[in-house]
Amino acid sequence: MARYTSSHWGIYEIKQGADGKPLLDVFKADPDPSEIGLSMLEASTRLRVARPCVRQSVLENGLGASPERRGLDPFVEVHWDQALDLAAQAISQTIKHHGNQAIFGGSYGWSSAGRFHHAQSQVHRFLNAAGGYVRHMDSYSLGAGRVVLPHVVAPMDDLMAVHTSWDVMEKHTELFVTFGGVPRKNAQVNPGGASEHLVKGGLYAMAKSGVKFVNISPTRADLDIGCEFEWIPIRPNTDVTCMLGIAFVIHAENGHDIDFLNNYCVGFDRFEAYLTGKSDGQPKTPDWAASICGISADQITELARRMMAARTMINVCWAAQRAHHGEQPFWMVVTLAAMLGQIGLPGGGFGVGYGAMNMMGMANPKFGGPTLPQGQPQIPDLIPVARITDMLEKPGEPFFYNGNAYTYPKIELIYWAGGNPFHHHQDLKRLIRAWRQVPHVIVNEQFWTTNAKLADIVFPATTTFEREDIGFATRDRFMVAMRQILPPHQEARDDYDIFAGLAKRLDCEETFTEGRDAAAWIRHMYDDCRPRAKAAGVNLPSFEHFWEQGLVDLQQPGQYNNMLEEFRKDPKAHRLNTPSGRIEIYSERIASFKHDDCPPHPTWMEPAEWVGSELAEQYPLHLISDQPAGKLHSQLDHSQLSQSTKRKGREPIDINPQDADSRGIQSGDTVWVFNGRGKCLATANICPDIIVGAVRLSTGSWLDPNDWASLDYDKHGNPNILTLDIASSNLSGGCSAHTCLVDIQKFDGEPPAVTAYELPDILSRR
């Protein structure tokens, strides 16, 4: 009987090597397996946190001592009981003196696949059992999109699960216009599992059946359809102007579907006044759009005509909304599709993120899978996830989120498990300074990441291979019995056991564990999910049977998605969950919030930084910091696969030949990438597949400061030393990572060695 493991990038079969050690092989039922998994076993035992560690100042001078020395102090290995006692003391003292609203437990991050050992669920459940914590809303992925779309059409999670399936598009779509490609490198991944990678097959089949593709993107390589396609380079963060230019032509040539706009939408008239310039004096003509986005007026006009003449699917990448005013491209894509009037027709309408993850375009049954209940929020305090540095810097100051006013709490203790803020957050120097003001930081980690290095107490966590679990993801094809392959590394424990140990010391063990061990929880979660699966037409076998056979195929014959098909057929019976029940091109509700930076209909507003802004005289290049191809975020950056994507040990930066020539830079040169916030070293990769005036430096290289005290520069090519940390808008508070100007310069002399993968100083090893 085959045995399996599962990850965010796919299922892998567990085999035995000649030396008796376990090996991973690709999953035969997956048509396009990801390489990432094959590299994960090899990396899983290196750079591990082996035993509980405490920062030297804390151990010698007491809890809360010298937080400014995080990253500078060495660690001391201690026994489990001592570390758990210390952490429990930090938590109980914080609660006693400052209340639970002084604990930040948002703990954002992807952690590992597996529904029970999901670190974020574990930490949230534990902190709720302990009386509550300040939580976070939304994600770095979709900060702006998640908040704006429920006002406009539907919640993002609902939309993601009903994206029109690949086979429907193969049959019906004639023209696929995408802003930001359909990056297959990204679709390797899906939160919780990606057992059947369908994006390559879907795109290739569409191309073969004659669908025409237009990729409007600063980079060409984010689309691969197996043959030539049209690439229209666009200046980053200007998509809304291109879409408005297209909308202007459609409107001027009477191609907009008045029936659809009248019967399925509200507020087109208000938007129309903006489009024609009646409301602001600026008609959004193709010439106007061209002057901003860099695409010629003729191209915009011609594309608009093609879109009017064909069954057209319009897609936008998530990166476009990970930006200042990031609500607008998503809102405008829906508006443009509404004008064409093809929403709900097979193969027409819009996509918000084909390719961002594997899920979009899958049609397996949808039901709530096995989940560890996180408990109810005990206190009202929250922040939009990417406002962490603002919160740490500005306690007591007001902020808005989704139309409500809040105040930033004063944080005394941070608990993180299963994420890496020094990977994901922007303007990392600013974050580190704020982090070094917080009295207590506790982290559960598998590896010596920057997050672990900047903690007071580090608990060593097991990896997927060292425990058993259930693999499941929304709309994914298989449910997986994830088998243990290796014993826990050194003294590593499951997050569950770490939290159970803390809960015992904080007198909330029963609430946290409900008397179950990990095995009992897994069985309980599985059994709890069976009725939900049944309601979706899936008969899950008994737990014993599931565990024995290793996999359950959830696919049902004949299933497909055609987004908003029912709404189109009967807009009254299937009204949307917006205030009007229709698509809101003008939102009264957003109008009532009165935010200058998020007006009530899709609007072009200049982002804080772009190639048209004044700052571009000093820093003329727009930095795209996209998702890395050879790993998930910063996970397994030390693996062989991730290492093979680097050049001279650093992250490569894509530069257009014209921008390289004018700076005397050649491929393979070490370069400075810099702006007023920070600088890093990277390796130049000169390629014509990026628009002039933009550079691309993927995320994920572990932060490697030249000096932990001064933080002058990063040696490894981590773009978040450069990125801008402002909210997308007052509506969402989303992350604006893709709004960032830089310049580059050749590095002269011998560059310093990369030291990101060195262990911290550990004084006494046990």
Ligand X SMILES: Nc1nc2c(c(=O)[nH]1)N[C@H]1C(S)=C(S)[C@@H](COP(=O)(O)OP(=O)(O)OC[C@H]3O[C@@H](n4cnc5c(=O)[nH]c(N)nc54)[C@H](O)[C@@H]3O)O[C@H]1N2
Which residues are known catalytic residues? 108, 110
**Cβ-based nearer residue to ligand X, 236 or 571:** 236
Task: Output the smallest distance, CB 112 to ligand X, in A.
Answer: 3
Task: Output the smallest distance, CB 633 to ligand X, in A.
Answer: 3
**Cβ-based nearer residue to ligand X, 346 or 693:** 693
Report how far residue 144's alpha carbon sits from residue 598's, in angstroms, rounded to the nearest whole number.
10
* Contact positions with ligand X (CB under 6 A) in 27-86: none
Q: What is the 3-state secondary structure (H, E, C) of 564-580?
A: CHHHHHCCCCCCCCCCC
Q: Is 222 in the site for ligand X (CB under 6 A)?
A: yes
Question: H helices within 454-564, ranges in order?
Answer: 495-505, 509-513, 518-535, 543-549
DSSP, collapsed to helix, strand or coil, labels residue 129 as helix
Closest CA to 244 of 278, 273, 290, 275: 275
Residue of the chain from 181, 571, 693, 734 that contacts ligand X (CB under 6 A): 181
**Cβ-based nearer residue to Mo ion, 146 or 324:** 146
Task: Output the smallest distance, CB 226 to ligand X, in A.
Answer: 18
Task: Output the smallest distance, CB 199 to ligand X, in A.
Answer: 11
Q: What are phi and psi of 671, to 5 degrees?
A: -130, 150
* Contact positions with ligand X (CB under 6 A) in 711-750: 719-720, 723, 737-738
Closest residue to Mo ion using C-beta atoms: 141
In 373-432 the beta strands, taken as DSSP E runs, fall at: 382-384, 398-401, 404-407, 413-417
Q: Is 138 in the site for ligand X (CB under 6 A)?
A: no
**Cβ-based nearer residue to ligand X, 185 or 716:** 185
Q: Is 246 in the site for ligand X (CB under 6 A)?
A: no
- List all residues 6 or more positions away from 702 whose beta carbon is below 8 Å from its beta carbon: 423, 449, 450, 634, 637, 638, 716, 718, 756, 757
DSSP 486: S
Using CB under 5 A as the criterion, which residues of the chain lie in contact with Mo ion when the complex forms?
Answer: 141
Structure tokens at 196: 């059947």
**Cβ-based nearer residue to ligand X, 629 or 686:** 629
Q: Which does 381 bind (CB under 5 to 8 A by kind): ligand X, Mo ion, none?
A: none
Q: How many of the other CB atoms lie within 10 Å of CB of 644?
A: 10
**Cβ-based nearer residue to ligand X, 216 or 481:** 216
Q: Is 446 in the site for ligand X (CB under 6 A)?
A: yes
Q: Is 185 in the site for ligand X (CB under 6 A)?
A: yes
What's the number of CA atoms in the CB half-sphere (13 Å) around residue 646? Answer: 24
Length, in residues, of the chain: 766
Closest CA to 113 of 501, 474, 519: 474
460 has which bridge partners?
A: 445
Q: Is 146 in the site for ligand X (CB under 6 A)?
A: no
* Contact positions with ligand X (CB under 6 A) in 390-429: 417-420, 423-424
* Contact positions with ligand X (CB under 6 A) in 530-569: none
Q: What are phi and psi of 747, to 5 degrees?
A: -90, 125
Q: Which does 185 bind (CB under 5 to 8 A by kind): Mo ion, ligand X, none?
A: ligand X
Report how far residue 364's alpha carbon sits from residue 477's, in angstroms, rounded to the nearest whole number.
6
**Cβ-based nearer residue to Mo ion, 189 or 431:** 189
Task: Output the smallest distance, CB 143 to ligand X, in A.
Answer: 9
**Cβ-based nearer residue to Mo ion, 141 or 178:** 141
Q: How many of the other CB atoms lie within 10 Å of CB of 260?
A: 21
- List all residues 6 or more positions away from 307 whose beta carbon is below 8 Å from its beta carbon: 175, 177, 246, 250, 314, 340
Q: Is 501 in the site for ligand X (CB under 6 A)?
A: no
Structure tokens at 408: 């930033």
Q: Which does 217 bind (CB under 5 to 8 A by kind): Mo ion, ligand X, none?
A: ligand X
Pick the stretch among 90-98, 282-290, 361-369, 620-628 that binds ligand X (CB under 6 A): 620-628
Report how far residue 173's alpha carbon sits from residue 225's, in angstroms, rounded to the nearest whole number.
14
Q: Which does 222 bind (CB under 5 to 8 A by kind): ligand X, Mo ion, none?
A: ligand X
Give the strand order in the sheet containing 440-445.
75-77, 53-55, 457-460, 440-445, 413-417, 103-104
Task: Output the smallest distance, CB 372 to ligand X, in A.
Answer: 12
Report how far residue 217's alpha carbon sits from residue 319's, in angstroms, rounded to the nearest whole number.
11
**Cβ-based nearer residue to ligand X, 635 or 685:** 635
Residue of the chain from 179, 330, 586, 702 that contacts ligand X (CB under 6 A): 179
Report how far residue 629's alpha carbon sits from residue 697's, in angstroms, rounded to the nearest whole number.
11
* Contact positions with ligand X (CB under 6 A) in 663-722: 699, 719-720
Tracing tokens 């001027």 back to the chain, one arrives at 252
Residue of the chain from 4, 104, 116, 140 that contacts ligand X (CB under 6 A): 140
Q: Which does 499 bind (CB under 5 to 8 A by kind): ligand X, Mo ion, none?
A: none
Task: Output the smallest distance, CB 737 to ligand X, in A.
Answer: 4
Pick the stretch among 178-186, 248-256, 284-292, 680-688 that binds ligand X (CB under 6 A): 178-186
Task: Output the smallest distance, CB 424 to Mo ion, in A.
Answer: 8
Tracing tokens 């310049």 back to the chain, one arrives at 743
Task: Output the smallest distance, CB 190 to ligand X, in A.
Answer: 8
Task: Please report the DSSP string for 689-737 in residue order.
Answer: TB-TTEEEE-S-SPP-BS-TTT---BSS--GGGT-----S-TTT----T
Q: Is 128 in the site for ligand X (CB under 6 A)?
A: no
Is the CB of residue 651 less than 8 Å from the CB of residue 724? no
Contacts 24+ apart (CB under 8 A), 631-635: 631/36, 631/700, 632/8, 632/9, 632/36, 632/110, 632/189, 633/110, 633/420, 633/423, 633/424, 633/699, 633/700, 634/420, 634/423, 634/449, 634/699, 634/700, 634/701, 634/702, 635/110
**Cβ-based nearer residue to ligand X, 244 or 261:** 244
Task: Output the smallest distance, CB 451 to Mo ion, in A.
Answer: 17
Q: Which does 723 bind (CB under 5 to 8 A by kind): Mo ion, ligand X, none?
A: ligand X
Task: Output the smallest distance, CB 578 to Mo ion, in A.
Answer: 25
Tracing tokens 């058993």 back to the chain, one arrives at 468
What is the pattern of x (binds ligand X, CB under 6 A) and - over residues 291-330? --------------------------xxxx-x--------
**Cβ-based nearer residue to ligand X, 101 or 178:** 178
**Cβ-based nearer residue to ligand X, 123 or 169:** 123
Q: Which does 384 bind (CB under 5 to 8 A by kind): ligand X, Mo ion, none?
A: none
Q: Is 213 in the site for ligand X (CB under 6 A)?
A: no
Residue of the chain from 83, 198, 216, 564 that contacts ligand X (CB under 6 A): 216
Q: Which does 44 bind (CB under 5 to 8 A by kind): ligand X, Mo ion, none?
A: none
Q: Is 224 in the site for ligand X (CB under 6 A)?
A: no
For residues 222, 140, 192 and 698, what is the CA-based torsion angle, rounded to 10 degrees? 40
Task: Output the smallest distance, CB 8 to ligand X, in A.
Answer: 8
Structure tokens at 321: 């909304």
Q: Is 192 in the site for ligand X (CB under 6 A)?
A: no
Q: How many of the other CB atoms lie within 10 Å of CB of 323?
A: 28
Is the CB of residue 549 less than 8 Å from the CB of residue 1? yes
Q: Is 358 in the site for ligand X (CB under 6 A)?
A: no
Report how far residue 642's alpha carbon sits from residue 651's, in angstroms, rounded to the nearest whole number.
10
Residue of the chain from 169, 243, 632, 754 that contacts ligand X (CB under 6 A): 632
**Cβ-based nearer residue to Mo ion, 175 or 740:** 740
Interface ranges with ligand X (CB under 6 A): 108-112, 117, 119, 139-141, 179-181, 183, 185-186, 188-189, 216-219, 222, 234, 236-237, 239, 317-320, 322, 356-357, 417-420, 423-424, 444-447, 449, 461, 495, 624-629, 632-635, 699, 719-720, 723, 737-738
